[in-house]
Chain A
Amino acid sequence: MQDGYTTPDGRQIGPVLLDLKNITLRFGGVEAIKNISFDIREGEIRAIIGPNGAGKSSMLNVISGFYVPQEGEIWFKGHRRGPMKPYEVARLGLARTFQNIALFDGMSVLDNIMTGRMNMMKASLFSQALWWGKAEREETANREQVEKIIDFLEIQNIRKTPVGRLPYGLKKRVELARALAAEPRILLLDEPMAGMNVEEKEDMCRFILDVNDEFGTTIALIEHDMGVVMDLSDRVVVMDYGRKIGDGTPDEVRNNPEVISAYLGVAHE
């Protein structure tokens, strides 16, 4: 597994992209994450699952740089990452979506997705205000990229619709679009299917697989829906009370007795 592996469906997974070593995160006296290590490889779909309060979202926030762990090391592309501001993490090539949708309700879908390109716009505030010279060229180039994403996610028909008027499932898709607009190396998805109906879930699954396939984006996702996780992911980390209790392919995890008792057995069967 040193330099990657091949998935059952024939995709080639590359070397380790993000390596988390002995991470511990405390809020005062509460240990949200207890000495967890795992890695995410180039091109894979990696899921983090666990019951409510297991520390999944905290883990995602550690990866995205929003929380700084008290102990442990984060290695990205072979370099150790020090404490960083979220925007610095974004520049490194991480983008995320949120469990509770965080879009600008009054703005159109198009404008919302354009905000995902902010990091790529270098023109001065003055030039942007006048929409002249560099700002105009930049916006045109970025708009082209955004239109490709709109086409990819099949949301052409709501391009000009204010986000506030959209149903929940579509908002989730717009959020994914905005994250994709940043052209991330790693895409972090916090419960992308929460609150969706079966059809919306199927659509979202297809988009996640397509993103991974077409753009080669590495994906880390947190998800409650076990069916979704098992179908989508290449490897799964299972957390419970801040500890890692399992790590491996969906089949390995499914047959892990500790996982069954902690999560599957109790909560679902």
Chain B
Amino acid sequence: MQNPQAAEAGLQSIPALLARNADRFGNMPAYREKEFGIWQSWTWFDAARQIRDLALGFLVLGLRPGDHIAIIGRNRPAHYWSMVAAQMCGAVPVPLYQDAVADEMAYVLENCGARFVVCGDQEQVDKVLEVGERAPGVEHIIYTDKRGMRKYDHTRMNALAHVQAEGRAAEPRLGAELDALTAGLGYDDTCVMLYTSGTTGKPKGVVLSNRNIIETARNTAGFDKLQQREEVLAYLPMAWVGDFIFSVGQAYWAGFTVNCPEGAQTMMTDLREIGPTYFFAPPRVFEGQLTNVMIRMEDAGAIKRWLFRHYMDLARRIGPQILEGKPVGLLNRMRYAVGDLLIYGPLKNTLGYSRIRVGYTAGEAIGPEIFDFYRSLGINLKQLYGQTEASVFITQQPDGQVRSDTVGVPSPGVEVRIAENGEVFYRSPGTFVEYFRNPDSTASTKDAQGWVATGDAGFFEEATGHLRIIDRAKDVGKMADGRMFAPKYVENKLKFYPNILEAVVFGAGRDFCTAFINIDLTAVGNWAERNNIAYASYQELAGHPQVYETIREHVEAVNESVAADPMLSGCQISRFLVLHKELDPDDGEMTRTRKVRRNIIAEKYADLIAALYDGRDSVSTRTEVTYEDGRKGEIRATLRLEDARVIPTQAMHRVAAE
């Protein structure tokens, strides 16, 4: 390890990185976990010791190279150690979602043929036992939390601590064998296998190699200049590729500290105590926190409310510029500094974001107001775009080039191209090896040159080179005059308004676009209460003239923003109606994960769509509804159809001229 170059070249597996970290950062914290009310910590040296004991223990139990070992549990150091220990033995870790029911687990356990299963607690052990014969390969269960486990038949079951103790005792006997196995790990050997959640069909095991993970970790750690001193909070499911990249790949590459919360419910408290410097959260986490802040401010005293409003207005004006290091006047800088002292600092501290250097969000569209709120406070929140098959990163936003409507530039080492139909393809060192035991799916996803289809449609902005994702590729269509139609793009913009819960936009093959709007009963109901507007039912509130008025304003504001986009300006909404019932999974109008089922809605409400396009002012309809207990009922309504102002654009003129 004398020559740093040679050392780097030898780093071709996670265990190799672990050895380097134990050597180089031996006394720095690698893991922390809050337990019994105290943050317990393990240095890289401790972690290497713990992992080695566990790996030796696995060998004692008979783990063989090439075996799969499933890990089911919440984010705990012991579970991360299990993954690396498995790798040291040449086995493949397969983290599973801990909220999976036994049936889903049965499929995955059977598919990967896991011989060993590491379970977080009794609940997970019970599920694995319930799976029983459906996953005949399972030979050993190892559990972390001993609670409630005393009475179980232990002929094929061990506590993780006991496995480690046995491993420690076996060091003289098996140490050399383990070293040989670890030394034999190659760059193209499998690092981890992660199952995609599988919205359609059965989950697929995505095989990621050491090359995929380490190259991605190295490139992206460089992109954001991640240091050894970063702190992350590991709270997202271990089965999700993001957690593997952040809490294992990048953590081992850069040598930073992974903090595990006490439990899912204490996550917010633990976040505040740790104050991570590098943080990832899906948009709903940021939304939830913002809502909490706003509600609590409503309850605050008049002076505090005024201070908050005043300084948040200031932050919104100049905060993002200061964050991006753009020129801002001295007076404004001083005012911002006062705001930081009075409002922004304490607020960030309460949220646990005081120390964030790099924050990411991804997964779905984030509302621009929400995004700007955090950025105006001086939190460097950015967006990335990725998927499991890419080892997360496809594109990400560089510091200083952050906007809520793009997903950034291609990550280092990633090539992105846009197909004829607008679909985004990528090729990168992180591109997955294959779907496990599924060559057909592999072949249909990844072509011979290594290009992978994302299933999303998007385009590069010419001016900035940033990628913008519009919609799922299969939903993107053309309007009658050939302009691009991307319903989800517009729906997302509509849904950013608190009053709008859902929106469904129509327009494929038509001359203009129309929309169904679902009001958000909480937000609109609240508004009605404050304004003394009486209503007896959802239907009545939805049809209220003032509600229509408000929604029309929202629609027109959205039209304005859509019009600013030359490619998508055709998607402005000319006519809309507010639906008399909430779209509901029970009626088949949405999936259980609350994604709109376009085709079913178009079929069920064909009369309403027809009315939107034939110029009538109102339409009477009957709709079948399913109650929660399965009974069917019918509601009748007369709905108003309303026109919204559309901004004429160049694209329209051009089309008209052709």
A10 and B37 within 8 A (CB): no
Whether B461 sits at the interface, judged by CB under 8 Å, is no
Does B265 interact with chain A (Cβ within 8 Å)?
yes
Q: Which chain A residue lies CB-closest to B267?
A: A157
Residues of A within 8 A of B266 (CB): 156-157
One of B148, B151, B265 near A156 (C-beta < 8 A): B265
Once bound together, how far apart are the Cα atoms of A148 and B327, in whole Å? 54
Residue B389 CB within 8 A of the other chain: no
- In this complex, what residue of B is CB-closest to A154? B263
Find chain B residues with CB under 8 A from A144 CB. Answer: 36
Q: Are B148 and A210 in contact (CB under 8 A)?
A: yes
Contact A147 B148 (CB under 8 A): no
Cross-interface CB contact of A151 among B36, B148, B150, B265, cutoff 8 Å: B36
Asked if A199 lies at the interface with its beta carbon under 8 angstroms from chain B, I say no
Let me know if A157 and B269 touch, CB within 8 A: yes
Answer yes or no: A23 CB below 8 A from chain B CBs.
no
Contact with B along A134-160 (1 / 0, CB 8 A): 000000000110011011101011010
B230 close to A (CB within 8 Å):
no
In this complex, what residue of A is CB-closest to B38? A147
Residue from the list B38, B147, B150 in contact with A152, Cβ < 8 A: B147
Q: When the two chains form their complex, are residues B37 and A156 in contact, meaning their CB atoms are under 8 A apart?
A: yes
**What are the residues of chain B within 8 A of A157 when measuring CB–CB?**
262-263, 265-266, 269
Q: Which residues of B contact A148 (CB under 8 A)?
A: 36
Does chain B have a CB within 8 A of A203? no
Shortest beta-carbon distance from B76 to chain A in Å: 13
Interface contact A147-B263, CB-CB below 8 Å: no
For the complex, give the distance between the alpha carbons of A144 and B37 in Å.
9
Q: Are A214 and B147 in contact (CB under 8 A)?
A: yes
A125 to B35, CA, bound (A): 31
Q: Which residues from A are CB-within-8-Å of B36? A: 144, 147-148, 150-151
- Distance between B261 CB and nearest chain A CB, rounded to angstroms: 9
Alpha-carbon distance between A143 and B37 when the two chains are bound, in angstroms: 10
Q: Which residue of B lies closest to A160 (CB)?
A: B269
Contact of B35 among A143, A151, A152, A214 (CB under 8 A): A151
Specify which chain B residues have a CB less than 8 angstroms from the CB of A151 in the assembled complex: 35-36
A29 shortest CB reach to chain B, Å: 50
Give A108-147 as 1s and 0s: 1 = Cβ < 8 Å from B's Cβ atoms: 0000000000000000000000000000000000011001
User: What residues of A have a CB within 8 angstroms of the CB of B262 in the complex?
Assistant: 156-157
Main secondary structure of the interface of B (DSSP, over half): loop
Q: How many A-B residue pairs have CB under 8 A?
A: 32
Q: Which of B142-156 contact A (CB under 8 A)?
A: 147-148, 150-151
Most A CB within 10 A of own CB, among B37, B150, B262: B37
Interface size (B, Cβ < 8 Å)?
13
Q: Interface extent on A, as a size class?
A: 10 to 19
Given known pairs A156-B265, A156-B266, the reply for A147 and B37 (CB within 8 Å) is yes
CA distance A147 to B262 in the complex (A): 12
Measured CB to CB, the closest approach of chain A to B150, in angstroms, equals 7
Q: With a CB–CB cut-off of 8 A, which chain B residues contact A154?
A: 263
Most B CB atoms within 10 A — which of A147, A150, A156, A213? A156
Cβ distance A107 to chain B, nearest Cβ, rounded Å: 16
Q: Given contacts A147-B36, A156-B37, is CB(A213)–CB(B263) below 8 Å?
A: no
Query: How far apart are the CA atoms of A143 and B148 in the complex, in Å?
Result: 23
Query: Do B265 and A214 have beta carbons less than 8 Å apart?
Result: no
B 257-304 contacts with A by CB, 8 A: 262-263, 265-266, 269
Residues of chain A contacted by B265 (CB below 8 angstroms): 156-157
Q: Tell me the smallest distance from the CB of A141 to a CB of chain B, in Å.
A: 13
* Interface-central residue, B36, B150, B265, by most chain A CB under 10 Å: B36
Interface string of B623-652 (1 = CB under 8 A from A): 000000000000000000000000000000
In the complex, chain A residues whose CB is within 8 Å of the CB of B147:
152, 210, 214
A119 to B36, CA, bound (A): 22
Beta-carbon contact of B151 and A10 below 8 Å: yes
Nearest chain B CB to A190's CB is how many angstroms away?
26
The docked-state distance in angstroms from the alpha carbon of A230 to that of B262 is 35
Q: Cβ of B35: which chain A residues have Cβ within 8 Å of it?
A: 151
CB distance from A265 to the nearest CB of B (A): 31
Q: Residues 29-63 of chain B: 1 if any A CB is under 8 Å from the residue's CB, otherwise 0? A: 00000011110000000000000000000000000
Min CB gap B525→A, angstroms: 24
**Once the chains bind, are A213 and B37 in contact (CB under 8 Å)?**
no
A156-183 interface mask toward B, CB cutoff 8 Å, 1 = contact, 0 = none? 1101000000000000000000000000
Min C-beta distance of B545 to chain A, whole Å: 41
Please encode chain A, from 208 to 235, with 1 for each CB lying within 8 Å of some chain B CB and 0 for all others.
Answer: 0010011000000000000000000000
- In the bound assembly, the distance between CA atoms of A213 and B265 in angstroms comes to 26
CB proximity of A261 to chain B, nearest CB, Å: 36
Q: Establish whether residues B269 and A213, one from each chain, have CB atoms under 8 Å apart when the complex forms.
A: no
Please give the distance in Å from A11's CB to the nearest CB on chain B. 8
Residues of B within 8 A of A210 (CB): 147-148
When distances are taken between beta carbons in the complex, the residues of chain A under 8 Å from B37 are: 143, 147, 150, 156, 159
Chain A residues packing against B (C-beta within 8 Å): 10, 143-144, 147-148, 150-152, 154, 156-157, 159, 210, 213-214
Give 12 pairs: A residue, B residue, CB < 8 Å, sorted on A.
A10-B151, A143-B37, A144-B36, A148-B36, A150-B36, A152-B147, A154-B263, A156-B263, A156-B265, A157-B269, A214-B147, A214-B150
Residue numbers of B with Cβ under 8 A of A are: 35-38, 147-148, 150-151, 262-263, 265-266, 269
Given contacts A150-B37, A151-B36, A157-B266, 17 further A-B contacts (CB under 8 A): A10-B151, A143-B37, A144-B36, A148-B36, A150-B36, A151-B35, A154-B263, A157-B262, A157-B263, A157-B265, A210-B147, A210-B148, A213-B150, A213-B151, A214-B147, A214-B148, A214-B150
